[in-house]
Amino acid sequence: MSAAPRSRPRSVSTVGRNINCRNENGPFSVVRSAQQFYGQSKTADALFAVALDSIGRRQGVRAFAVHPGGIVTDLLRHMSQTEVDGYGILDKSGKPIIDPENNKKTPQQGAATTVWCATSPRLNGMGGVYCEDCDIARALPSDESQELHGVRPRAIDPVAAGRLWQLSEQLTGVSLD
């Protein structure tokens, strides 16, 4: 990391981090549904940024988790028509519904927050935060919150981030020390 001082790595998460992916064996155990797996992976993306920021800040590396918004991608091909209909992301003709206030964005609108995290002077000296809509996301009071915007505590928990980082090092055999 010392070769990239003052860098701002971004980890892209999504609204999937809101899916309750915890089960009886803890937050990093095997899940039983595609939706839970997606939620677990997007929560892990956010926790990665928290852990990387904690490790890299001494060397000027500040990491951010980014939620670009709901953008229709080819992931739809892995969803049933019932699931697609349930998300309300396509109109009757099959075209994406664009409604940024309700988290439905174009690819360009979604990319804006990633670019903002890389360039905004407002984030100078900061890191380990979750960003959405070209701003720092508001911390929600609980993991059970039903609000669409904001970040749940489980996605920015520094203890869980540290445990996930350690697990990643064990599984990959790679350490930044």
pLDDT of residue 103: 86
pLDDT (average), residues 104-108: 92
pLDDT of residue 21: 46
pLDDT of residue 109: 93
Which pair of tokens denotes residue 73?
Answer: 């991608």
Query: What are the residue numbers of the active site?
Result: 38
Which pair of tokens denotes residue 42?
Answer: 């997007």
pLDDT of residue 157: 94
What SS3 state is found at 125? coil
What SS3 state is found at 81? helix
Dist CA 51 CA 85 (whole Å):
36
DSSP 85: H
Q: Which of 152, 71, 79, 150 is nearest to 109 (CA)?
A: 71
Spelled out in words, what is the top-level CATH class assigned to the domain 10-69+106-172?
Answer: alpha beta
pLDDT of residue 27: 53
pLDDT of residue 18: 46
Dist CA 4 CA 105 (whole Å):
32
Specify which of 2-16, 66-80, 111-125 reaches the highest per-range mean pLDDT: 111-125
Phi, psi (deg, nearest 5) at residue 20: -70, 105
Other C-beta atoms lying within 10 Å of the C-beta of residue 140? 18
Hey, where are the domains in the chain? 10-69+106-172
pLDDT of residue 35: 73
pLDDT (average), residues 35-45: 82
Percentage of residues in the chain having pLDDT higher than 70: 86
125 alpha carbon, distance to own chain's centre: 21
Q: pTM, whole model, 2 decimals?
A: 0.82
pLDDT at residue 28 tops 90: no
